[in-house]
Amino acid sequence: MKFIVSSNYLLKNLQSISGVASSNNTLPILDDFLFEIRETILHVTASDLETTMTVSLKLTMSEEEGRIAVPSKLLLDALKTMADVPITFATNNETFAIEMTAGGGKYKLSGHNGDEFPETPTVEEGSSFTIKSTIFSEAISKTVFAAGNDEIRPVMSGVLMELTEEGMALVATDAHKLVRYARKDVTTNNYDSIILPTKPLNQIKNILGNEELDVKVEYNDKNAFFAFGNIQLLCKLIVGKYPNYPAVIPQENPNKLQISRSLLLNTIKRVSLFANQSTHQIRFKISGQLLELSAEDIDYSNEAVETISCNYDGEDLEIGFNSKFMQEMLNNADTKEVLLKMSQPNRAGLIIPVEDEPQINEEILMLVMPVMLNS
């Protein structure tokens, strides 16, 4: 197997899939990239068994089809130091030795038998739909941060994707906070729900960025497959029943507080520095058009109180929240103002981003569970 490819072009594409590789692989072959040449196209695959990514590259020149496993870390580290020059790869099909020639340099490394690399599963008898990359990237960004990482409840370590004729919704929760991001302009003919792991979703989000592409999504009851540009990703779904999240969303929320998002976020950041560093408790005391935020750490005699103006409609209220969760929510809302809906001190608070121009096809709801206030 012999081929020529630009070093920068190769590096950029390898970096796009390298995040899949795990540092504690159970199979040594998974420390490698699988290089396959089929019909003059180089297909490079990285996998951790749960998630598999493949990128397809056009070659300057290729001779003979074949496959070989190439040590990923050594190859990436070498490419990062090279100028943008053509690299010639020549492999020995019997010893799996690899020789790279670039400019005035010649480099040799030991590859492995590509047939030992795990086969990529296929999505058979599945359903499919297409979504714009900007919409999908936004949906992932707005939800994935709220997923949990509790091994005892694996379903909550993923993101629920609900598909109906009315639209698509992504939901993530860790039992303390919840986000639901819905789109009415992404429709399918199926009523389905699948639980996607966060690792492949983060990979997709990082690659898509602001690119305008069509993302093809296929799924069955075991795997999900995503194809966009020259990249394909396949991941195993999380199996299990997702919590009945609508049951925890309070429907009657008569107390409504509208406020500048950046003002509230920065005030919480300051006040929370003085909060107990294990509970992160911050007190919201609302009366009239004033919001008093306070926190204290009795062990160290630290205390902070700050009062800011707000637009409030409701009864006077005192409620406690975890300041870390509030900051996460506010950081992931990108509007100038937010609406905080509340009912009672022991019921969840809802955070609704307030758009300057109402979005017809987009709906986002954030929920934060309260914490018991110290008397």
Span 15-53, pLDDT tens digits: 999 999 877 778 999 999 999 999 899 999 999 999 999
Q: Which residues pair with 35 in a beta bridge?
A: 44, 68
CATH 3.10.150.10 domain span(s) along the chain = 2-116, 127-175+188-246, 249-371
Note the pLDDT tens digit of each residue in 148-157. Answer: 998 889 999 9
Confidence (pLDDT) at 187 = 84
Q: Quick one: average pLDDT of 5-9?
A: 97
Half-sphere exposure of 222 (CA within 13 A, CB side): 6
Sign of CA dihedral 250, 255, 258, 259: negative
Tens of pLDDT along 362-371? 999 999 999 9
The predicted model gives 203-219 an average pLDDT of 92
**Amino acid 151: pLDDT:** 85
Share the mean pLDDT of the chain.
Answer: 94
Summarised one tens digit per residue, pLDDT across range 136-147 is 999 999 999 999
Mean pLDDT of 252-276: 97
CATH of 249-371, one of 3.10.20.340, 3.40.50.300, 3.10.150.10, 3.40.630.30: 3.10.150.10
Q: Please report the pLDDT score of residue 276 as a whole number.
A: 94
Give the CATH number of domain 127-175+188-246: 3.10.150.10
Strand locations in 39-122, DSSP E? 41-47, 51-58, 61-63, 66-71, 86-91, 97-102, 105-110, 112-113
Fold classified for 2-116: DNA Polymerase III; Chain A, domain 2 (3.10.150)
The confidence band for 102, taking pLDDT boundaries of 50, 70 and 90, is: very high
Q: What is the pLDDT of residues 45-56, one digit of tens each?
A: 999 999 999 999
pLDDT category of residue 375 using cuts at 50, 70 and 90: low
Confidence of residue 125 (pLDDT cuts 50, 70, 90): confident
